[in-house]
Amino acid sequence: MDINTVRTGGVLVIKAEGRIDGSNSADFLGSIQAVIDDDDTGVVLDFGGIDYISSAGLRVILLLAKELRGTNTGFGICSLSSAVQEIFSISGFDQIITVSDTEEQAVKSLQ
């Protein structure tokens, strides 16, 4: 699992690559929490490089969404592959978390 970050207009964009499953979900959450600053008005997970996410990965996303909601920080996900989009759809996550087609759309929605 690799992550890279960039800030655009107060929004933290986290680009992840690889798989998110039970073997790395706790590390993934810790890595994300470590890069979020109090000054960030929003956080976008760019999943363009994620080819698989398990229920453990979905749990991380839910925990992160709840944590950010508690600090009034916007949250969104973008660039889902068709396989990951299907998992989000089946699990209903696309109904509770804002999913955008592109990073640009996701950042704009949080500014």
Enclosing domain of residue 55:
6-101
Give domain status of residue 106, yes or no: no
pTM for this predicted structure:
0.94
Q: Which of 48, 62, 50, 51 is nearest to 91 (CA)?
A: 62
Q: Which three-class secondary structure state does DSSP give residue 18?
A: strand
pLDDT digits (tens, 9 = 90+) for 7-18: 999 999 999 999
Average pLDDT score, the chain: 96
Mean pLDDT over 84-111 rounds to: 95
Q: Convert the pLDDT of each residue in 27-44 to its tens digit.
A: 999 999 999 999 999 999
Nearest to 64 by CA among 89, 46, 44: 44
Over 90: is that where the pLDDT of 111 sits? no
- Name the residue among 45, 56, 52 with its Cα closest to residue 85: 52
Residue 23 per-residue DSSP state: T
Domain count, the chain: 1
How far apart, in Å, are the Cα atoms of 31 and each of 27, 83, 89? 6, 24, 26
